[in-house]
Structure 1
Amino acid sequence: MRHQKSGRKLGRNSSHRKAMYRNMVTSLLRHERITTTVAKAKELRGEVERTITVGVRLGDLLDKPKDERTRDEQARYAHAMAHVAKTVQDREILHKLFEDIAPRVRKRPGGFTRVVRLGQRRGDAAEMAIIELVDRKIPEADGAGDSIS
């Protein structure tokens, strides 16, 4: 019995699971919306929330230009970047998190992601879901009739 054991194993060993979460967090921050299974989306939600919270905790420091920060503020910023870099493996996405996403969501008390169920996958009937950032930027529709729901 798995009483008092938190987290889903998802049919993977711990190193594979950890690598998968790192890849999925990076992809979610890059695209701001990904499609996956419900179980993976629910587990990913906590990873992404923790990652974004590290950036949000910098507060007003996010608005200050780099040359105006004090030595202590720059050290806090660098420490937060190093902490998140353990999870987010792409430097471009790391900077996107601190310069775009964290300032955009910092007024929210939490709940930066949303999981929307889609139904079953055709091949194996796995329950599918979309996980997305709550206030993601919606790209402009190029043609008529395109709608994002």
Structure 2
Amino acid sequence: MPKPTKGPRLGGGPAHERLLLANLAAALFTHKSIKTTETKAKRLRPLAERLITKAKRGDLHARRSVLSVIGDKEVVHVLFAEIAPLVADREGGYTRITKVGNRKGDNAPMAVIELVLEPVTPKAKKSAPAAEAAPVVEETPAEETPAEEAPAEETVEVVEEAPAEEAAADEAPAEETPAEETDAK
């Protein structure tokens, strides 16, 4: 027999909690965003994320296992046909919980749980932005400062001279290589 969840359940026994979370998940997939209590939103998040991960697989077994939890064929179809392709590139974190204050009647803390359907922007490598950011930072003050300030202009000249010296250094070994090859023959 499975061990029940520790602590108080949402509204009653484990069967009632399972049905409550299934209905919340169905409403979330139908409306893309729902307002509920913080506790219910926090309990719904892992279930919804698991169901979306199964929907991303898209096979018959996944569809039937999601259908065993939700029970509504129309909601399962929306999940597999509309939501899963939108989050196909996302590796997790399909839901977002935002606290919205307390309910007027009983002062219960409320939250909005919504699906994150925005496209994923890939993170750049840490070394690449540092190399790209350094020249931009040095060039920007030179363009914004007036021509009267000599130190800013000298900084720009040093940056411009450095690539010229590197280019000269690159050309020198290229000239030495043919001479070495003729000596070797």
> In 2, Cα distance between the equivalents of 1:9 and 1:50?
20
Length, aligned pairs only: 114
> In 1, Cα distance between the equivalents of 2:28 and 2:95?
10
SS of the aligned residue for 1:97 comes to helix
Q: Residue 27 of structure 1 aligns with which residue?
A: 27
Q: Deviations over 1:53-102 (max 9, x none)?
A: 001134xxxxxxxxxxxxxxxxxx21111010012221111111111100
Unaligned runs of 5+ in 1: 59-76, 137-149
SS of the aligned residue for 1:101 comes to helix
Matches within 5 A, 1:1-149: 9-58=9-58, 77-135=59-117
Q: Percent identity over the alignment?
A: 42
Q: Residue 168 of structure 2 aligns with which residue?
A: none
> In 2, Cα distance between the equivalents of 1:25 and 1:129?
15
Unaligned runs of 5+ in 2: 119-185
Residue 86 to residue 104, structure 1, CA distance change in 2 (3 Å): same
> In 1, Cα distance between the equivalents of 2:69 and 2:11?
21
Moved over 4 A (4+): 5-8
The letter of the residue matching 1:17 is E
TM-score in terms of structure 2 length: 0.58
TM-score in terms of structure 1 length: 0.72
Decide which structure has greater helix share.
2
> In 2, Cα distance between the equivalents of 1:42 and 1:130?
10
